C-alpha cells in the first residue's frame, strides 16, 4: 500500500465504522453510537445524509419514503456529529444521498463514500467526483461490467481517479445479513487486477470472520456496520453490525494477520539463521561407505545427509565421475580438496 494513501489506516486497512441509520432518527442515540465508535479506535466514522423526499419517490414507494423520513436527522444534528468525530481526531464521512448537503458538509469530509445503491446513479457520481476528493465505492448488486463502467465514468469526470490513492472499490453484497457463500471475497483480487485501484470489503455477514479473511486476502479498506447492542433491535442493520468489543477484537485479529503475513520477499528469517537451521535442516554429500583413494564417485557410493557440512547437496551431480585423491570414511564430511582436478 502507498504510505501516502488516504486509505492507509492506523491498524493496516482503513477501518470504517458505519453507523448509517442505526440511530433510527434518535439524535441522542446517534451521539452515543458516535462516541462508542470513536472509543474503538477505528479510522473513520460514517453516516448517511438524506431526506425521505430527496431519496425515495413518495408516489412510487410511499412506504420506503416514510421509512427514510423517520430516520432523518437535521443539518444541525449532522454537523454536531461531524464535529464530535473530527474533534476526537477520527475521520468523519458520509454517504451523501442528498447532494444539497455537500454545500454545508464538505468541509468535514476528507473521503467520500458512495453506497452500492448509487453505483449507477451517474449524476451522484459526477457531482461527488467533481469535488476531487478520494472516493470509496461499494459494488453491491453490480455486475463486473457495471463496476468497470462506473469507474470509467468517474475517471472521465476527473483523471485523478485513475490513481489507487484516490479511488477504492469495495466488494459488497447488498443484503442484510448474508450467508458466507454470498460474500465472494475473491472479487477483490479480480477488481484489483482489472483496475489497479485500491480494493476492500464492505461487510454484511454476521460476526467479523469475513472481515478478518478479507484482510488476509489483501483488503485495504474494511467497512462494517456498528451498533452498541444487537439484542432487542428490529432494524435490519443492527443484525450485521459489530459491537464495540467486537471491533476491538477485530483490530487485534488484524494485528495478528499482519504479523502472519509478514514481508512478501522470501528470505530466511533471523530466527532460522540464529538457530543454524540452514545447516542442520539441509543436506550435504557424504560417502555411503568407507572409500579408498582413487575411488570414482558415483550414485552408488554417495548419499545426501544432514547436516549441510562440506559439499552442498546441490553439488551432487558435479561430483559424479570424479576421483578421490585420498581415502574417506562412511559419512565423513567431504571437501573439494579431496577430489582430483
Chain-centre distance of CA 155, in angstroms?
A: 23
Q: Where in the chain is the domain with CATH 3.90.1210.10?
A: 270-338
pLDDT at 3 over 70: no
C-alpha closest to that of 113 among 135, 81, 133: 135
Burial 168-203 (b: 16+ CB within 10 A, else e): bbbbbbbebbbeeeebebebbeebbeebebbbbbbb
Q: What does the pLDDT look like over 21-63, one tens digit per residue?
A: 888 888 999 999 999 999 999 999 999 888 888 889 999 999 9
C-alpha closest to that of 107 among 82, 85, 80: 82
Please give the Cα distance from 202 to 136 (Å, whole number). 10
Q: Where in the chain is the domain with CATH 3.20.20.70?
A: 8-261
pLDDT at 2: 58
**What fold characterizes domain 270-338?**
Type Iii Antifreeze Protein Isoform Hplc 12 (3.90.1210)
Q: What is the mean predicted confidence (pLDDT) over 203-231?
A: 95
pLDDT at 1 over 70: no
Contact 226, 239 (CB under 8 A): no
The H or E element that residue 138 is part of is strand 135-138
- Least confident range of 170-174, 181-185, 233-237: 233-237
Q: Per the structure block, which three cell numbers stand in for 274?
A: 540464529
Peptide bond into 162 cis (omega under 30): no
**What fold characterizes domain 8-261?**
TIM Barrel (3.20.20)
pLDDT at 52: 85
pLDDT at 241 over 80: yes
CA distances from 179 to 138, 187, 205, 209 (A): 18, 16, 6, 12
**pLDDT tier, 277 (very low <50, low <70, confident <90, very high otherwise):** very high
Q: What is the mean predicted confidence (pLDDT) over 128-134?
A: 98
CA distances from 190 to 57, 198, 217, 335 (A): 36, 12, 12, 52
β-pairing, 112-114 vs 91-96, is: unpaired
pLDDT at 149: 98
Q: What is the mean predicted confidence (pLDDT) over 248-265?
A: 96
pLDDT at 189: 97
Q: What does the pLDDT look like over 263-274, one tens digit per residue?
A: 999 999 999 999
Mean pLDDT of the chain: 94
- Least confident range of 64-68, 139-143, 178-182: 64-68
Amino acid at each position: 500500500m502507498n504510505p501516502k494513501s488516504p486509505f492507509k489506516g492506523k491498524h493496516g486497512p482503513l477501518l470504517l465504522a458505519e453507523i448509517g441509520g442505526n440511530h433510527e432518527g434518535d439524535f441522542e442515540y446517534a451521539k452515543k453510537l458516535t462516541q462508542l465508535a470513536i472509543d474503538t479506535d477505528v479510522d473513520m466514522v460514517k453516516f448517511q445524509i438524506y431526506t425521505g423526499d430527496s431519496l425515495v419517490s413518495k408516489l412510487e414507494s410511499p412506504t420506503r419514503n416514510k421509512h427514510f423520513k423517520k430516520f432523518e436527522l437535521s443539518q444541525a444534528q449532522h454537523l454536531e456529529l461531524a464535529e464530535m468525530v473530527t474533534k476526537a481526531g477520527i475521520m468523519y464521512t458520509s454517504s451523501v444521498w442528498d447532494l444539497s448537503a455537500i454545500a454545508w458538509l464538505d468541509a468535514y469530509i476528507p473521503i467520500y463514500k458512495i453506497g452500492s445503491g448509487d453505483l449507477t446513479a451517474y449524476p451522484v457520481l459526477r457531482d461527488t467526483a467533481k469535488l476531487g476528493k478520494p472516493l470509496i465505492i461499494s459494488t453491491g448488486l453490480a455486475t463486473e461490467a457495471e463496476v468497470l463502467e462506473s469507474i470509467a465514468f468517474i475517471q472521465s469526470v476527473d483523471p485523478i481517479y485513475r490513481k489507487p490513492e484516490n479511488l477504492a472499490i469495495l466488494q459488497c453484497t447488498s443484503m442484510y445479513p448474508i450467508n458466507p457463500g454470498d460474500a465472494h471475497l475473491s472479487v477483490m483480487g479480480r477488481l484489483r487486477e482489472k483496475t489497479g485501484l485500491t480494493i476492500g470489503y464492505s461487510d454484511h455477514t454476521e460476526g467479523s470472520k469475513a472481515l478478518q479473511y478479507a484482510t488476509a486476502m489483501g483488503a485495504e479498506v474494511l467497512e462494517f456496520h456498528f451498533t452498541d447492542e444487537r439484542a432487542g433491535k428490529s432494524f435490519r442493520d443492527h443484525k450485521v453490525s459489530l459491537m464495540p468489543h467486537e471491533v476491538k477484537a477485530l483490530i487485534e485479529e488484524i494485528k495478528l494477520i499482519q504479523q502472519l503475513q509478514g514481508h512478501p520477499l522470501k528470505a530466511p528469517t533471523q530466527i532460522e539463521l540464529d538457530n543454524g537451521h540452514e545447516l542442520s535442516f539441509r543436506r550435504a554429500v557424504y560417502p555411503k561407505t568407507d572409500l579408498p583413494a582413487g575411488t570414482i564417485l558415483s550414485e552408488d557410493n554417495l548419499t545426501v545427509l544432514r547436516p549441510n557440512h562440506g559439499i552442498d547437496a546441490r553439488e551432487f551431480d558435479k561430483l559424479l565421475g570424479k576421483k578421490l585423491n585420498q581415502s574417506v570414511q562412511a559419512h565423513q564430511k567431504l571437501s573439494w580438496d579431496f577430489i582430483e582436478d
